Structures are given as structure tokens and as C-alpha cells.
């Protein structure tokens, strides 16, 4: 099982762990994880990979008590230094009284099954929000309403950056203010292109590049590759990268045009401890420097951001009426 718990909420993780534990009583089980918290108590042996090499293996107790294991954990805890100026970024400008996002009585459903009902929600300048809730509650639906990737966004009262969705400005005019990194985008990026092209596509909000690219674009790409320490992978096929490397490239893609709003949907999924620390540190500095406002979706408590100011939570509804959404929405300051 390769990262079986990534992207799952804690209830699903607990359930799946119990299933795997039962299986381990009758068949050998090998689990690949990046998070030590995902190791169940049924795991008897550990093998540790570092820089594509098997450096440690044996009974779990012996491995966890070894000096090399402790050295690797300490190394993972070290956060790499970030550059004084992030490549190609500037501070965003806002009007203090104009919401960045404003939703009025927004409702979404499928086949007469309600998902969100009469949601009123505003994100004001300098606010950074987390969206949380169980799997299947509607978090991705909410993100897609904002990004314009949900068909019902045009039948609702949604204002982005002062403009009503579907009136006046095109979807591309709106998207230029947003940077998005999500598991869905990762799954969609199946075209056979090199890493440079993936980064360049962030300027145009496309899968691939179909517009002229100038020297300034390539200079910013070079700066990001240097920051990611991936200069040697510039011409590598995106699909040839490891899963973690792909996600780091997609996060840089989301930031490359220095958007006003940065939407990160489970950005640390599939990353090792060092890269998770890098992403979290990077996003914290983006918020602190007012480079972008952050909308953050994550199941993992260990990936929580200190910069977050507000939270929107999907919680199970108490109503048994099938005409009501299964989850209600609560929100407030953190």
C-alpha cells in the first residue's frame, strides 16, 4: 500500500488502519508512508529510504532507537533557508472595505441532493482562511465555486475581486488573480511536457503552454527552479519526477504569477517531512509578506499554518431530513 492514508480525514484513517491491521493477521503487509503518524501499531519492521538508498532496516524497536534514525529525524526537522525575495513576487494591493471573495445565499446540489445551502461568506483583505471537514462534505465543491471550475458558480451570487462571477470579466480575467494547487489539478496534469513547461503554464492558467513566452517568464522559472534546487530537472518530463517533486513543482506553478489569492488544497499530501516543512514555511512567509492571501484546505493537524486567521468548518448536520445538506457550515476567527 503506497501512501494509503494521504488525503483522508482522521475518521477514515482510523477505519482504514483497523482494516489493514486485520489484513496483517493473515497476509504480509508492506506500507509506504511519509508520515510517521500513519504507522499503525501492527507494523513490526521498518525500512528507511534516504536519497534513493535503503539506509536502515530491521525490527521496529531497534530502528526507532538507532542513532541513524534519530539523525534522519533531526535532519527532516530542519527548515531550509528561504530567499529574501521570492522569485517574481510583489505585494498585493487591496481596498480595505472590499471583500476579496463574497458569496450571498449560495446553494449547490446534485440530482436534487443538497450539498451547500444559502451560504453567506466573505473573505476580507489580509484574512487567511482554512477550510476543514470530513471527506465528501463539500470542501472541493466550495473551492471549485471560487476557481470557476464548478458549473453552478454562474447560477449563484459570487463576487471575486469586486466583480460578479459571469458578468463582465471572463473566467481568465478572474483566474489571473488566483493561484491554485490541488490534487485534482495534479491528476489532470497528464500531458507529456517538461518541468519548465509546467511552471510556465502557471502564467496562463493552462495545462501546457499555448501562448508566446517571453524572456521575463523564463527568468522567473529559472529563479523558482533554483529555489526548489531542481535546476537539473528543467528539461525532465514531469511524469518522470517523483510524486513529491511533482507537487513541489505544482505549488511553484501556483505562485509563479504572484496571485492575490493562493488556493492550496491538501498541498502537503505525498510530501516527505523536509518538503512539508519547506511548503509550510514558504506559505507562512507569503502570508507574512502580504504576497498573497491564503485559502488552505488540509486534513492533517501537523500541517496547520500559524498565519491562518479564520476557519470555515463543515460539521455533520443534526437534521434527519433528506432535503437538508448532510453537513452544516460554521465559521469564525481562529
| 139/122 Cα distance (integer angstroms) | 16
Percentage of the chain beyond pLDDT 90 is 48
Give residues with Cβ within 8 angstroms of 29, minimum separation 6.
1, 20, 23, 42
pLDDT at 200 over 80: yes
Look over the chain and give the mean of its residue pLDDT values, rounded to a whole number. 88
**How much is the average pLDDT of 193-218?**
92
pLDDT tens figures, 135-149: 889 998 999 899 888
pLDDT at 199 over 90: yes
User: What's residue 137's pLDDT?
Assistant: 92
**How much is the average pLDDT of 105-121?**
92
Q: Place 81 in a pLDDT band, splitting at 50, 70 and 90.
A: low
Surface-to-core class of residue 182, CB atoms within 10 Å of its CB (0-12 exposed, 13-18 middle, 19+ buried): buried
pTM attached to this predicted model: 0.85
pLDDT at 87 over 80: no
Domains of the chain from N-terminus onward:
10-77 (no CATH), 101-333 (3.40.50.300)
| 132/101 Cα distance (integer angstroms) | 18
User: What's residue 34's pLDDT?
Assistant: 87
Q: Place 93 in a pLDDT band, splitting at 50, 70 and 90.
A: low
pLDDT at 88 over 70: no
User: What's residue 193's pLDDT?
Assistant: 92
Structure-block grid coordinates of residue 331: 465559521
pLDDT tens figures, 126-136: 999 999 999 88
Phi, psi (deg, nearest 5) at residue 92: -80, 155
User: What's residue 76's pLDDT?
Assistant: 60
**How much is the average pLDDT of 55-65?**
95
pLDDT at 92 over 60: no
| 107/118 Cα distance (integer angstroms) | 5
pLDDT at 78 over 60: no
User: What's residue 244's pLDDT?
Assistant: 78
Higher pLDDT, 321 or 129: 129
pLDDT tens figures, 161-175: 887 776 666 777 778
User: What's residue 318's pLDDT?
Assistant: 83
User: What's residue 74's pLDDT?
Assistant: 75
Amino acid at each position: 500500500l503506497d501512501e494509503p492514508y494521504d488525503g483522508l480525514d482522521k475518521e477514515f484513517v482510523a477505519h482504514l488502519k483497523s482494516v489493514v491491521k486485520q489484513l496483517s493477521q493473515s497476509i504480509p503487509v508492506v506500507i509506504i508512508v511519509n508520515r510517521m503518524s500513519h504507522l499503525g501499531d501492527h507494523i513490526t519492521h521498518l525500512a528507511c529510504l534516504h536519497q534513493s538508498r535503503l539506509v536502515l532496516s530491521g525490527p521496529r524497536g531497534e530502528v526507532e532507537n538507532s542513532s541513524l534514525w534519530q539523525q534522519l529525524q533531526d535532519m527532516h526537522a530542519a527548515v531550509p533557508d528561504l530567499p529574501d525575495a521570492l522569485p517574481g513576487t510583489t505585494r498585493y494591493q487591496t481596498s480595505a472595505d472590499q471583500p476579496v471573495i463574497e458569496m450571498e445565499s449560495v446553494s449547490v446540489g446534485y440530482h436534487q441532493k443538497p450539498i451547500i445551502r444559502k451560504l453567506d461568506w466573505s473573505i476580507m483583505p489580509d484574512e487567511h482562511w482554512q477550510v476543514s471537514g470530513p471527506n465528501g462534505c463539500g470542501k472541493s465543491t466550495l473551492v471549485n465555486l471560487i476557481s470557476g471550475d464548478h458549473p453552478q458558480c454562474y447560477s449563484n451570487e459570487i463576487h471575486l475581486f469586486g466583480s460578479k462571477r459571469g458578468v463582465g470579466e471572463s473566467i481568465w480575467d478572474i483566474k489571473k488573480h488566483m493561484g491554485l494547487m490541488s490534487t485534482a489539478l495534479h491528476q489532470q496534469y497528464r500531458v507529456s511536457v517538461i518541468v519548465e513547461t509546467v511552471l510556465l503554464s502557471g502564467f496562463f492558467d493552462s495545462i501546457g503552454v499555448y501562448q508566446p513566452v517571453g524572456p521575463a517568464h523564463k527568468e522567473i522559472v529559472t529563479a523558482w527552479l533554483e529555489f526548489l534546487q531542481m535546476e537539473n530537472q528543467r528539461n525532465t518530463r514531469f511524469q518522470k519526477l517523483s510524486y513529491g517533486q511533482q507537487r513541489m513543482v505544482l505549488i511553484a506553478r501556483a505562485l509563479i504569477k504572484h496571485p492575490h489569492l493562493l488556493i492550496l488544497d491538501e498541498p502537503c499530501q505525498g510530501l516527505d517531512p523536509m518538503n512539508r516543512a519547506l511548503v509550510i514555511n514558504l506559505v507562512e512567509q507569503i502570508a507574512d509578506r502580504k504576497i498573497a492571501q491564503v485559502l488552505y484546505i488540509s486534513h492533517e493537524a501537523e500541517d496547520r499554518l500559524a498565519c491562518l486567521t479564520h476557519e470555515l468548518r463543515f460539521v455533520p448536520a443534526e437534521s434527519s431530513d433528506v432535503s437538508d445538506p448532510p453537513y452544516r457550515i460554521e465559521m469564525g476567527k481562529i
